Amino acid sequence: MNQAVKMFLKESVELELNVAELYQLFSVKFPPDYHFWWKISLEEMNHAALIESINDFFFTETILPIGELESYTEEIHRINLSIKARTELYKTLPPTRAEAFKYGLELENSAGESHYEFFMTSELISEPMGKVFQKLNGDDINHAKRMEKYRRENKIV
């Protein structure tokens, strides 16, 4: 496998796991929202597993050019560093419920998550495996909408 592809996949897996860890922290810090954050955390771990299962056969330059991969990899790396720092901060200085949802929405709308959503919904993914990934991913790809809906329904401002 091309080194650029390996690095992109590594950073992408790390992104999903970092977000999962943050959401697990939120599930502990906010008992009323435990089930919501825990479920989304599990979905993020599932995303990581899906990405780990990708190999040369399913991820080729015809899906995403190597030059773009290197750019995305750098961006995802920066996001990973930011998430790790924020998670460490929140362990000792937890956010409010509203701040947790605001940051969750920010993450879900960030470039890394957007790229993942693009990848999972792209017409460029080879058949039939791409459709399998899309089906497995199902409703998980749009956490931002679910967060916003949950926040509104629970009057978290």
- Residues 79-137 pLDDT 10s: 999 999 999 999 999 999 999 999 999 888 876 666 666 666 565 555 544 554 565 45
Residue 60 has pLDDT above 70, yes or no: no
pLDDT score, position 23: 98
| 9 close to 52: Cβ distance less than 8 angstroms | yes
Residue 155 has pLDDT above 70, yes or no: yes
pLDDT score, position 82: 96
Q: How far apart are CA 14 and CA 25, in angstroms?
A: 16
Residue 92 has which token pair?
């000792």
Mean pLDDT of 15-21: 94
Residue 27 has pLDDT above 90, yes or no: yes
Q: Domain range holding 131?
A: 3-153
The overall average pLDDT reported for the chain is 81
In SS3 terms, the chain reads as: CCHHHHHHHHHHHHHHHHHHHHHHHHHHHCHHHHHHHHHHHHHHHHHHHHHHCCCCCCCCCCCCCHHHHHHHHHHHHHHHHHHHHHHHHHHHCCCCHHHHHHHHHHHHCCHHHHHHHHHHHCCCCCCCHHHHHHHHHHHHHCHHHHHHHHHHHCCCC
- Residues 64-75 pLDDT 10s: 556 667 887 898
pLDDT score, position 109: 81
Q: How many domains does the chain have?
A: 1
**pTM score, whole prediction:** 0.83
